[in-house]
């Protein structure tokens, strides 16, 4: 299991806050998942994303906020700027929860 870079700071603006709000998620919840502050560990998958001539990494995070609510989030790390940016976040589906708990063996 890999971990997202804990040294990076979140990058929030009106656009990404509004986007996750459409899914009923708040920035604080995504940060709790990113930094592993929930009752169970955050599971992260690292993916490559082609953006024209640029390739960037994205993390698919499966985890829980501090209250135990299961969240799936896609974040883009920008270590050069010491930031990570939430692309989207939404409540975890039942099928994803099953895989998540199997992966973390709970």
pLDDT digits (tens, 9 = 90+) for 60-85: 999 999 999 999 999 999 999 999 99
pLDDT digits (tens, 9 = 90+) for 42-55: 999 888 877 777 77
Q: Predicted confidence band at 1 (pLDDT cuts at 50, 70, 90)? A: low
Q: Are 75 and 90 in contact (CB under 8 A)?
A: no
Here the tokens at position 12 are 């929030």
Q: Predicted confidence band at 22 (pLDDT cuts at 50, 70, 90)? A: very high
- The DSSP-derived string for 51-74 is ETTEEEEEEEEEEE-TT--EEEEE
Q: Predicted confidence band at 5 (pLDDT cuts at 50, 70, 90)? A: confident
């Amino acid at each position: 299991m890999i971990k997202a870079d804990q040294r990076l700071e979140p990058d929030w603006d009106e656009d990404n806050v509004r986007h996750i709000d459409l899914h009923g998620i708040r920035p604080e919840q995504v940060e709790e998942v990113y930094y592993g502050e929930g009752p169970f560990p955050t599971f992260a998958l690292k993916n490559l994303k082609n953006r024209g001539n640029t390739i960037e990494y994205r993390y698919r995070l499966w985890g829980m906020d501090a209250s135990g609510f299961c969240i799936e989030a896609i974040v883009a790390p920008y270590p050069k700027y010491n930031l990570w940016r939430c692309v989207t976040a939404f409540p975890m589906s039942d099928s994803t929860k099953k895989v998540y708990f199997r992966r973390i063996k709970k």
